[in-house]
Amino acid sequence: MINHRLLRYFYISVFPCFFIFGWLAASNAIAADNEIKNAPVDFQADRLDRDEVNQTITATGDVVLVQGGRTVKADKIVYYMKKDTVFAEGNVEFTDYTGDVHKAQRIEFNNALKDGFVQGLQTYLTDGSRFQSKTGKYKSGNKTVMSNASYTPCEVCKDNPDKAPVWQIRASDVIHDKAEKRVSYKHARFEVYGVPVAYLPYFSHPDGSVERKSGFLPPSAGFDSQNGAFVENRYYWDIAQDKDLTAGLRVMTDETPLGLLEYRQRWEDIYLRTQGSFTYSDRADFENNRTTYEDDELRGNIEVDGLWDINRKWRSGIELNLASDDQFLRQYDMDEEDVLENEAYVERFSGRDYAVGRILAFQDTRVEENREDQPNILPEIHANFLGDPNSVPIVGGRWEAESSVLGLLRNGNDPDMNRLGAALGWQRRLVSDFGFITELNTKLRGEFFDVSDQNTQANRSYSKTRGFGYIHAISSYPFVRPNKNSQIVIEPLASITVSPNVTDDDEIPNEDSLDVQIDTGNLFKANRFPGLDRVEDQTHVTYGLKTGIYGHDGSFGDIFVGQSYRFDDDEIPFSTGSGLDGQESDFVGKLTANYHDEYQLDYKIQLDNQDLSSERHEIDAIATINKFTLTSQYLYAKGLSDTDVSETREQVRNAASYYINDRWRVFGSARHDLGDDPGLREAGFGLNYLGQCISWSVVGNRTLTEEGSGDNGTEILFSIGLKNLGEFQTSSFSLSGREE
């Protein structure tokens, strides 16, 4: 018969200690002790005996102990009271509160249960990793030292559990420190399918329970025709919870090494990221239609990204992007931007109101003879205030107010300009009982320009003021016919815009209204100019038709066509090629279709209003057939006078990918120029493997451009990721054939 007093003593004194110091169990013994002692105990055993002579308490027969989220199972557990030692044997299994499962044939703890010895240890961590060792020692309540042990995060083969994993690390000594969340090895051998491939006298890595831990990140290697064969590796330093540093080195056979740095820190309301690279090398430049070569020099770049949430209404930020020369970023695959933007800004949010102030500077990295004289913006301020719906007395609708300040300063001879502006508008939406929808919009604008034109011999400075306003109304009348699984919609649209004639725009520099081209997105706008320096004056009407079928399952197909007509053909403000340079605009259309997210088509078209000749075609199509995905993009666009894009462009890019199974993908792409100088411009091919504990990829890319551009060359990149050895990231593809 079980002594209940003895049993209560056993519950409270013996087994709580076993939980506290149970092997691989706790990272903080004192905290765990207090937590577990206060937790209720659930205990069961077939038999419980106490030996007064030998001062032992023995539980036998399917012993199960549960407390504080931890569970112990064993065939037999003995507590030696004089020695303060716990001994468990026979199918011992301990499940920690973290979910880690530890199995052994025999385990013994002593020295106030702070040190222990384990035989036949098998540990299964929650992330799928596992340890195996012949013997193990538990020290100081949170450290396990294993002899003749192995570690792997790879899953066990279901058909053959004894089969060697994809990769594992074997070592004479393995130390798992739960406090440091790190696994360390002495005399380690890295094995692939049981075959040793590398030896390291000492090695360590995170244990998989943390996302951030100092250590080397997975390396990458490859070949670049400009830089030669290369190997890159980075070291991640987890300085503190709020900051870290990553430093790396790319070693190349044809160039001097490239250093890499990145620093990140977060305060309560501030985030800061700084990264850069540097090297000392020569370079090729493209100047006066020929390639030249520069001697060795210090080259590099720096990027800074910061954000400060000042309070609930205010925030500010900074973005810096600087490069030592035009080719650097593209030569070393850092960035492909043509113009680098540097900005410092402050924003305010308040209900429907928004205001922003910023200063900007630009670095033009395009490799060509004639570049734009990029201005410094010192400053740009814009504020927008929007009233509540139906907040305007008598007429209803809502009001809108805007104000803006712009200052442009150049280093070259192009004009400097300062601009002040303000606007006041009114909007209202009307819906009749018969479904006729009308939106009314009116706006009054005024701007003041101060211009200093340094491109003239007299260095002329002058000021201009301009007032402008318009009334804009757009109406539509949708017809809807419901079907069993879909509905058909036919919607005619028409708008009219009335505004005065503006005659003094020629003396105002055009800084923000250069890129004008008619499309379905701006066709029905009152002012088709994107900025404030130019306005679309006088009266014009716009008309179009939209029709489509929309399935209840999300599939749809719709078509839109439209055109605009200007009543007065004198002094048309739009440039040739914009599609708005005649009294009748070009025709624009759009076809969009989606079938079960497997077949998608987006086709935009612009046709000349006189003979319906092609002005622009844009096609973006995707087809997914089981594991096979095809993507095609086509662009044809005539050149636009008075812009940077004065030449006709025609190009096509095709890509395909095939998912062999849920772990293998092969893909390729090619881009061809079909214009005046036709030919292949870029081609790529790659192979991805995504496994449970290993991921690798091989990607090759060939770019055909001018040598001095920094883009031209061939690159082959091989990368590998091993789970828990540094940062392990899954690939961005899925078996369904669509990128995730």
The yes-or-no verdict on residue 640 having pLDDT over 50 is: yes
Query: Are 137 and 242 in a shared domain?
Result: no
E strands, 46-126, are 47-51, 56-67, 70-80, 85-95, 101-110, 115-124
Query: Are 264 and 328 in a shared domain?
Result: yes
pLDDT in tens, 403-448: 999 999 988 777 889 999 999 999 999 999 888 999 999 999 999 9
The yes-or-no verdict on residue 178 having pLDDT over 90 is: no
pLDDT in tens, 328-374: 888 888 887 888 999 999 999 999 999 999 999 998 887 654 566 78
What is the spatial distance between Cα 563 and Cα 189, in angstroms, rounded to a whole number? 72
Q: Predicted confidence band at 456 (pLDDT cuts at 50, 70, 90)?
A: low
pLDDT on residue 25: 35
Domain presence at residue 404: no
pLDDT in tens, 703-719: 887 655 556 778 888 88
pLDDT on residue 357: 96
pLDDT on residue 545: 97
Query: Are 144 and 80 in a shared domain?
Result: yes
Domain presence at residue 54: yes
Which of 183, 210, 237 is where one domain is finished?
210
pLDDT on residue 458: 59
Query: Are 228 and 181 in a shared domain?
Result: no
Mean pLDDT, the chain, rounded, equals 84
Which of 180, 210, 240 is where one domain is finished?
210
pLDDT in tens, 267-308: 999 999 999 999 998 877 766 666 667 788 899 999 999 999
Query: Are 104 and 226 in a shared domain?
Result: no
Domain presence at residue 146: yes
With a pLDDT cut of 70, the percent of the chain lying above it is 86
Bridge-based pairing of strands 587-595 and 599-607 is antiparallel
pLDDT on residue 177: 84
State the CATH number of the domain containing residue 8. 2.60.450.10
The stretch 535-551 carries a mean pLDDT of 95
Domain presence at residue 65: yes
Which of 158, 176, 210 is where one domain is finished?
210
Query: Are 18 and 151 in a shared domain?
Result: yes
The yes-or-no verdict on residue 84 having pLDDT over 90 is: no
Number of domains the chain is built from: 2
pLDDT on residue 43: 73
Residue 454 DSSP symbol: T
With a pLDDT cut of 90, the percent of the chain lying above it is 43
pLDDT in tens, 202-216: 888 877 777 777 888
Query: Are 48 and 148 in a shared domain?
Result: yes
Q: Predicted confidence band at 478 (pLDDT cuts at 50, 70, 90)?
A: very high
**Predicted TM-score (pTM) of this structure:** 0.75
Residue 20 DSSP symbol: H
Range of the domain at 160: 4-210
Highest mean pLDDT among 89-103, 130-144, 377-391, 454-468: 377-391
Domain presence at residue 300: yes
Query: Are 171 and 238 in a shared domain?
Result: no
Highest mean pLDDT among 314-318, 532-536, 641-645: 314-318
Query: Are 134 and 276 in a shared domain?
Result: no
Domain presence at residue 126: yes
Query: Are 206 and 282 in a shared domain?
Result: no
Convert 104-143 into a string of H (helix), E (strand) and C (coil): EEEEEEECCCCEEEEEEEEEECCCCCEEEEEEEEEECCCE
Find, among 137, 135, 102, the residue nearest to 120 by Cα.
135
Kindly state the tokens that stand for 418.
């300062």
Domain presence at residue 563: no
Query: Are 169 and 233 in a shared domain?
Result: no
Among the listed ranges 84-98, 436-450, 492-506, which one has the minimum average pLDDT value? 84-98
Domain presence at residue 682: yes
Query: Are 194 and 336 in a shared domain?
Result: no
Residue type, 131: F
What is the spatial distance between Cα 702 and Cα 552, in angstroms, rounded to a whole number? 44
